[in-house]
Amino acid sequence: MTQPVTASRASAPFTPTWQKFKLTGKQYAQQYSHIYSKRLLAQGPMCLPRASKAFPQATAVPRIIELKESVRSIVVGTLVKESSNRVEVQGGLSEDAAIVLDNSDAMKVKAFKTMSDDKDKCVLEDDSGRLALKFLEKEDMFGYNYKVRDLVTGVVVAIVGVVDELGEMEVEAIFVGGIEQGDTGDRVKEEIEGMTKATVGDETSQQPPVVMLASGLQVGKSGGDMLPLQLLVDYISGSLCGGDAASLLGSGSGANVARVLIAGGATGSTFFTSGDLDEMDVKKAAEPIKVLDEYLSQICCNVEVDLMPGASDPVPLMLPQGSIHPCLLPKSGEWQSLNCTPNPYSARVGGAKFLGTSGQPLADMRRFTSSSQAVTMSDTSNDGAPVAITEMEALESTLNFRHLTPTGPDSLPTYPFQDQDPFVIGKNDVPHVLFAGGCEKFETKVVAGVRLVCVPDFDSTKEVVLVNLENFECEVVKFEVS
């Protein structure tokens, strides 16, 4: 007697927490000064105690203006980095400006060429004034001792040092918001319990639920290869089997995918990232979006989908980016399973906090930082010029800085918030999984209990990442057709 074959998809309770990234009634009469004030207000208290603890004998000065000469002090402020190589935008939109957020292949090289070098200068600013920083060549002392090259404009830091007679501070140590084990907090119990495993065949082959992280699908891209995309759908729907396909499956069968999270770059439309937007042909721009609409419908009929917009998607540019407008996705929008989310993304899946962006902040940070391994790792073509930090290093920095988009609004288009800085990773916001889309390659790492995931660009790697919701282990699935 044969048992009836049961096949059921894994599931996980889902609670969106992205409300603060959904904006209505946008105003533009205010300037960018408020967001910096609010950021300092929120993050100062994160940095200061860490500095005071490490340097108990130093005097904590509430504001820059109250610093005194020749006294070892701790002062909190926002860092401003002045790169001599920085391409200033004179006359508004220069060519370089257009590449800031670009993910497309052609622009990648340019975009990730760092403007940082050892001659960069840093100043600290708060609402009372500015302070020039002087870095001494000292080895790490306490905590995170950052070097100029590690830092970007917009990071809130506590600085320990002494002001000299010229009014510059000789920096002894720098403390950022930082992260510690346990900061993530516990997962929501009921939601963990609410997860179900996938059953394919018998009870013994139950598989724990996973979240599929994908990015840069570029559906409908002209000249794009639809086959890997189709394989992806087949994988999710479970219709992929036999032959070569077996090697693709990895440990799962597709049925364990409880959610698909698309971290930006779903549309293959290149209109928003290249060329003169003024000359954009709307008819042509609409085509790939229609293809995406069809494509998403195929996935949505199988599984819950979170669709985050990215730099190249048809949404406004400034972060946070709102969700893709329903009028662009008339078909897939019919499915209840499609969630058009903002970018950044914030939600609880299976009781675990997921936080992430479509990758713009990493790309932007990499333009202003350089790797400490510049010399050893530089390839021959680089002539010893500074090398940008890796995407993983950048992602880790955002966690340590406790800020999703530190370089906004300085070099990253950001909405001029007035009452808050929603990008601060506050006490209760430290996620279990922090991800960024649009990366060159897959990388993962655990820092102080936080799982960091660089989600590879599907269009160039044909890879997606599966995050196990029980232990956050990651696995890559590649859809390459040889």
Partner 1 sequence: MSKRFTTTTTTIGTGKRIRGGGDDEYEPTVDDEVMDDEVDYDEAAMEANMAAMAENGEASVDSTVKQRWGRPDVKPFDPNKEDINVQWLDMDMVSGPPLTANPKKGATVLGSSVGPVPVIRVFGCSDKGHSASIFIHGFTPYALFAAPKEFENTSSNLERLREYIDERLRNQVRDARNYKVFCHGVKFLDDRKSVMGYSTTHTQFFQVYCSMPSMVPPLKRIFSEGVKLPGMVETVSCQPFESNVPFVLRFMIDQEISGAGWLSLPAGAYSVRKESEKKTHCQLELDISYKEIISRESVGEWSKIAPLRVLSFDIECQGRKGYFPEAEKDPVIQIANCVSVYGTPDPVVKNVFTLKGCLPIVGTQVITSETEQELLLKWQQFLQAADVDIITGYNVQNFDIPYLLDRAEALSKVRPGPNMSPFKLWGRIKGSPAKMKDTTFQSAAFGKRNNVETTIEGRVVFDMLPYMQRNHKLSSYTLNSVCAEFLGQQKEDVHHSIISDLQNGNDEDRHRLAVYCVKDALLPQRLMDKLSVLINYVEMARVTGVPVSFLISRGQQIKVFSMILRKCRNEKLCVPDLPKGRNADGVAYEGATVLDPIKKYYEVPIATLDFASLYPSIMQAYNLCYTTLASPQDLANLSPEDYNKNPNGTFVKASKKKGILPTILSELLSARKQAKKDMKNAPNEFEKAVQNGRQLALKVSANSVYGFTGAAVGQLPCMAIASTVTNYGRQLLEKTKACVEETYTKANGYEFDSQVVYGDTDSVMVKFGNPMGPRVFELSEEAAEKCSKLFPHPILLEFEKVYYPYLLMNKKRYAGLLWTNVEKFDYMDCKGLETVRRDNCQLVRDVIQTSLNKILIDRDTKSAISYVKKQISDLLQNKMDISRLVITKSLNKGAEWALGLGGKAEDYKIKQAHVELAARMKKRDAGSAPQMGDRVPYVIIQGPKGAQTYTKAEDPIYVLDNNVPIDCQWYLSNQLTKPLTRIFEPVVNDVEKDLLKGDHTRKIFIATPTARKGSLMSFAVKKATCMGCKALIPKDSGNLCEHCVCKENEIYLDKLKNLRVAEEEYSQLWSAAQRIHGQMFQDVMCTGDGCACQFYRRKKVQQDIKRCQTALDMFAQ
User: Could you please report the per-residue DSSP string of 156-178?
Assistant: EEEEEEEE-TTSEEEEEEEE-S-
Strand partners for 141: none
Q: Which is nearer to partner 1, 53 or 325 (CB)?
A: 325
Least Å from the CB of residue 43 to partner 1: 14
Q: For partner 1, which is the closer residue by CB, 49 or 326?
A: 326
Residues that bind partner 1 (CB under 8 A): 26-29, 31-33, 36-37, 40, 65-69, 78, 80, 88-93, 97-98, 125-131, 163, 165-168, 271-272, 277-278, 280, 282-283, 285-286, 289-290, 314-318, 325-328, 330, 409-414, 416
Question: DSSP letters along 92-155, please?
Answer: S--HHHHTTT--SHHHHHHHTS----TT-EEEEEETTEEEEEEE------SS----GGG--TT-
Q: Cα(387)–Cα(385) distance, rounded to whole angstroms?
A: 6
Closest C-alpha to 424, from 30, 27, 152, 38: 38
Q: Which two tokens stand for residue 179?
A: 């992260």
For 455, the 3-state DSSP assignment is strand
Q: How far is the CB of 333 from partner 1 (least distance, A)?
A: 11
The smaller minimum CB distance to partner 1, of residues 125 and 234, is found at: 125
Beta carbon nearer to partner 1, 235 or 295: 295
Q: CA distances (Å), 140 to each of 136, 196, 243, in order?
A: 11, 47, 54
Could you tell me if 152 and 79 are in contact, meaning their C-beta atoms sit under 8 angstroms apart?
yes
> Closest separation between CB of residue 312 and partner 1, Å?
11
Pull the structure tokens for residue 119: 């001659």
Nearer to partner 1, 311 or 347 (CB): 311
Shortest Cβ 429–partner 1 spacing (Å): 23
- Considering beta carbons, is residue 235 or 368 the nearer one to partner 1? 368
CB closer to partner 1 out of 81 and 402: 81
Instruction: Give least dist CB 165 to partner 1, A.
Output: 7
CA triple 349-479-315, angle to 5 deg: 55
Closest distance to partner 1 from the beta carbon of 14 (Å)? 21
Rounded to a whole number of angstroms, the minimum distance from the CB of residue 92 to partner 1 is 5
